[in-house]
Amino acid sequence: MPVETPAGETFRFDVLTIFPELLDSSLKEGIIRRAQEAGQIAIACHNLRNYALDKHAMTDDRPFGGGEGMVMKPEPLAAAVQAVQAMAPQPGRVILLSPQGRPYTQAVAEELAGQARLLLVCGRYEGVDERFTAQYVDEEISIGDYILTGGELAAMILIDSITRLRPGVLGCADSASCDTFSRGGLKYPQYTRPRLFEGVPAPEVLFSGDHAAVAEWRLVAAVERTFAKRPDLVAGMSFSPNELKILQRQGLLARLRESGWKSQLPENQ
Ligand code: 9D3
């Protein structure tokens, strides 16, 4: 019996912001645009000012107790969340983009891609009134330990990274499995024409027509590159039995173990 799976649904993003144009422009190109046209995702940006109660449409105010900067008022945020939740049949998880949030990773993106709808709230100024966060926000997410001027760029990063995980968005069906992070390390280096660029040739093996040799070169290059650029990722890498054979033959298993990588081979071969 056919069932409604999340795979066939349109994933709906609602974004609350005082700068809707900031998102609108950058979401109108590339894969994100195609995904919207194909009905795989829908993005609606809502101007918080439209939900401000006073005649000046104020969305911020001075902090109680004094101090630097401004704080986002709770009422416009609350009114906007309520109104936007009512715009689609099922409510969305409310995510506040905030420097205090859970660090965003590919694993978080994969978890959120399993939802059908997200309501992304972008803060500005020094932050939002804590009572709004407590009453309306399901989860706070940070995109990293650096300081932005607001949550809009962070919201775009969530939309971008979640959209490409949705079924059918990327051309190649198993694109996700050849992702940079699928083996847990970095991807091999890429080359295209010209064969000779500023005197530097592309690696000879790539022209050999020997698919096994190419795959082997790429595996070794990927592991070497991970050692060089992201040694912190080495310990968490995982390999297929065939890849392990190659790595053993290439003498890379010892180096992997030295980096804290746990042998997947039975009985410490
Ligand atoms: C100097 C006071 N700041 C403490 C770190 C307060 C503050 C900084 C930056 C309050 C708001 C912001 C705006 N940042 C975001 O809205 C934000 C953000 C970020 O700054 N870094 C990483 N992820 C995110 S998600 C939203």
| Structure tokens, 10 | 């349109």
- 11-163 has which CATH code? 3.40.1280.10
**What's the token pair of residue 178?**
């050849």
The pLDDT value given to residue 7: 58
Residue 269 burial by Cβ neighbours in a 10 Å radius (0-12, 13-18, 19+): exposed
Out of 98, 105, 125, give the residue to mutate to test ligand 1, the one with the largest number of ligand atoms within 8 Å of its CB. Answer: 98
Q: How far apart are CA 80 and CA 84, in angstroms?
A: 6
Mutate to test the pocket of ligand 1, among 148, 149, 161 (most ligand atoms within 8 A of CB): 148
Atom of ligand 1 nearest to the CA of 147: 20
Beta strand extents in 183-268 (DSSP E only): 196-197, 200-201
Q: Give start-end residues of each CATH 1.10.1270.20 domain in the chain.
A: 196-258
- Ligand 1, pocket residues at CB < 6 Å: 97-99, 123, 126-127, 142-144, 146-148, 150-151, 154
What's the gap in Å between 35 CA and the centre of ligand 1?
A: 29
* Ligand 1 midpoint to CA 269 (Å): 48
8 A C-beta contact, residue 16 and residue 121: yes
The residue contributing the CA closest to ligand 1 atom 13 is 150
What is the DSSP secondary structure assignment for residue 175, as one 8-state letter?
G
Residues forming CATH 3.40.1280.10 domain(s) in the chain? 11-163
Token pair of 189 as six digits: 């280096």
Ligand 1 centroid to residue 95 C-alpha, Å: 14
Over its C-alpha atoms, the chain yields an Rg (Å, rounded) of: 24
Contacts (Cβ under 8 Å, ≥6 apart) of 210? none
Q: Which pTM value belongs to this model?
A: 0.93
At 265 the pLDDT is 63
In the chain, what's the furthest Cα-to-Cα distance?
74
The continuous run of DSSP H or E covering 168 comes out as none
Q: Report how far ligand 1's centroid is from the alpha carbon of 125 (Å).
A: 8
Please give the angle made by the CA atoms of 212, 175 and 160, to the nearest 5 degrees.
Answer: 145
The CATH code of domain 196-258 reads 1.10.1270.20
Whether the bond into 194 is cis, omega within 30 of 0: yes
What are the average pLDDT values for consecutive 10-residue runs of the chain, which has 269 residues? 59 98 92 97 98 94 97 98 98 98 98 98 95 98 98 98 97 60 89 98 98 98 98 96 96 95 68
**Hey, which residues are catalytic here?**
99, 126, 164, 179
